[in-house]
Structure 1
Amino acid sequence: MGSRTARRRRAVVGVATLAGLLSVGGLAGSGLVRSPSQAAADTRPPAPSVITAPVTRQVLRSTVVLRGTFADGRTVSAQPSSVAETEAPSRPAQLVVTGVFTRAGRSVRAARALVEYSGRPVFPLPGAVPAYRDLVYGEQGGDVEQLQKALASLGHGTGGDTRGVFGPGTEQAVRALYRQLGYPVPVSRDESTAADPDGRTSTGADASASPGATPRQETSSTVHAMVPASEVIFVPALPARVVSVPVQVGDPVKGPVITLARGGLTLTGQLDPAQAGLVTPGMKVSVLSEATGAQARATVESIGALVTPGDGKEGSSDSGTATAATAGGGAYRPLVVKPDKAWSTAFAGQDVRITVTAASTAKAVLAVPEAAVTAGADTHTSVTVVTAVGGRRTVRVTTGASADGMVQVTPAGGADLEAGDRVVVGK
């Protein structure tokens, strides 16, 4: 009996287990079978949503950004070629640098020794005409007048000398200049021939002399102060900036020992010809050196003619300053920038970013992305505002200035539109 009961129980459990498995399999199979309508519903795209952007209140500025390079403008160099004689003469064996008293980037004033070679100074004086000759006693000309003006500006008057004539007053002023510099005065020697007691010169044989007489020859040397061309650098405006000092103490003099900028730094940008119509002289400019962080305000001074690399014009601009071709080597128009105040020397040699403000609103205005403005069949423009609960309302607007993808909007007919509202810009 017990054995039959156990067999019956096992049979009932087996039947129940099989029924459970068949039920689970049926449910799983039903999940894999979909009707055509269900398949279409499953593949239908989701309900469309909208992309919104906030209404802002800001000053709109239309800008043009370009690259520019600072250059030193016109420069003047000193390249000594000789050593002047002094009242205590010495004869150097060679021209060699014996002192360096400044460095690139420094501002220098008049009558200060900047470099010394073979014991002689190189110093600047104010003047536009370069030193092209030694200025000695008795010389005349515009360069002499320039020297006289420079001496007077340093407090060394030239007495009663005629303007442009190197006379005794100018000579005394030159002596005072070199005493100020702390160097022996350079001199020139005026060789002259003396006459004999009878009033006849004695530089050669006298035809009226008695036979056998030996003619007398007497010469004298007059020493005058002078200014050697190798020692002075005339610069139109002082203080001036040192562009380079390519020598060290002990170097032989084989070229320029110092170069000064004859004018201030100049900035020339490379304007894309496609943007030239957006920029005109007088527009405001901001300048930034990413390398140093230096910033400045300026204005557009001029826009030059089209320059195409390879046409021979890319080496210089109308202002005489060097310009660089654009990074891609394409055509450009040189844009000269004038600073509101003198350029800082921190900009020297820098490649900078120039931002030109082509247009600007006078004050902060309501603005939306350009994509938010739509025009209807009635030609009226509007924006669609999304409410806090997800609703939408259309607001008619008039548009104004645009810049950098934003456009000024003014609600029409007293419609409600405020900064912070969200407007539809796409779906």
Structure 2
Amino acid sequence: MVDEAPKAVPENLLHARYQIQQQLANHAGRETLLATDLKTAKPVVIKLLTFDRSFEWDDLKLFEREANTLKTLSHPCIPSHLDFLEIESPDAKQLALVQTYILGRSLEDYLQAGRTFTEPEIKELLKSLLQILVYLHERQPPVVHRDIKPSNILLGDRSGNSIGQVNLVDFGSVQTLAIQEGRTVTVVGTYGYMPPEQFGGRTVPASDLYSVGATAIALATGKHPADLPQQDFRPHFEAFVQFTPAFTSWLQQMIEPRLDRRFSSAQSALQALEQLQQWHHANLVQHAKKAPPFDYTGNIIARSIALGSVSGLLCGALFGISIMPRVGSDQGIGAIFGAIVGIIAGLILGSVNGVLLSRITAHFFYPLRSVGLYRWTARLLGIFLGSGGMVLYFLILKEGPITRTTSMIVGSSLGTAIILAGVIGAFVGQCLAQWYEQQAVAEEDE
């Protein structure tokens, strides 16, 4: 549905019982209204389907299915069915579905206001949402929502440190698996939150899990999943969040495009999430006063020195060949001398980079909780040392004064060399970060 600003409805009394207060949404012959039940004096939500020019039979099928499904459900975090009306008017016939009103603010409203959610908040929300899905999916036949997204999830009033009660609303796309047998399936859902199989009309309980995972990504990044880099229906969110490696892996399994690689049920996803939280708590306690093992710091330094030496050798040789002949030196001598100085510079810079990164890792990234931030820290450190080292390297290598004739050539070559050194520094940092991330995941698995 397309949300519009609340506005008054001229015919404000429906079926001589429901006093219309305002319009909540309006889209192609379908309206959602907030009303007061004069019999109970309680607020209710009324969904109207109008048989006008925009009417389609699929709309009627989905509308009746929502009503019939809500009749069978009884859950504090799901709207309850109250009434179903047929309304005759001079203009057109209408159907009205009356359901309980749930007070809360949608996650979409929070996102539009510029809020993003932290990993603990998202985990708390996911746990509540998965518990609702366990209830729906374990019914006979299973009930699949098919349109889980931020606008269909409401947060109630907060209490203490809790994010509030999580409510799942708008069952207008709902489907029971029994309906699929031998019938044409209406393709519904929202792009970016729909799994691949749903585009083909196939829906299983695990389809809702993909939507839950995509919703979690939207809450963390503040971006619509469709706006993130995509590959085979998988949004690549890792560079935009600061999740722990274990939670990142869990979320990747939630949005796995292939059904056989996704969590098979809401119950299995919930159990995996709870185990992850239990492990994370135990791990924090275990490492609260524990320094990182020497294996991490020693390996980071050793690998940085090795990568720095190889990079220095290549950069030095290239620099000697391209620069020194232009200031009067022999090319062969320039290459040899450049390579020797490059190895020495690489050893020095690699050692400095390794020591600094190992100290940063020990003080700020052990245990590893923010993969994205650690990657950028390692890259920027490598860029800074690589580019700065190349400037010093040039001052060492140049022989004699550089004339006005050669200054432009040397300056251009030096600029290229500085950029190249920065790129290599970033590559070294990326390699070290990836190695440390792999070690962190392996330690978690143990």
Fold conserved (TM > 0.5)? no
Greater fraction helix: 2
Higher relative contact order (CA 8 A, sep 6+): 1
Greater fraction strand: 1
Larger radius of gyration: 1
TM band (smaller chain): under 0.3
Q: TM-score, normalised by structure 2?
A: 0.23
Q: TM-score, normalised by structure 1?
A: 0.23
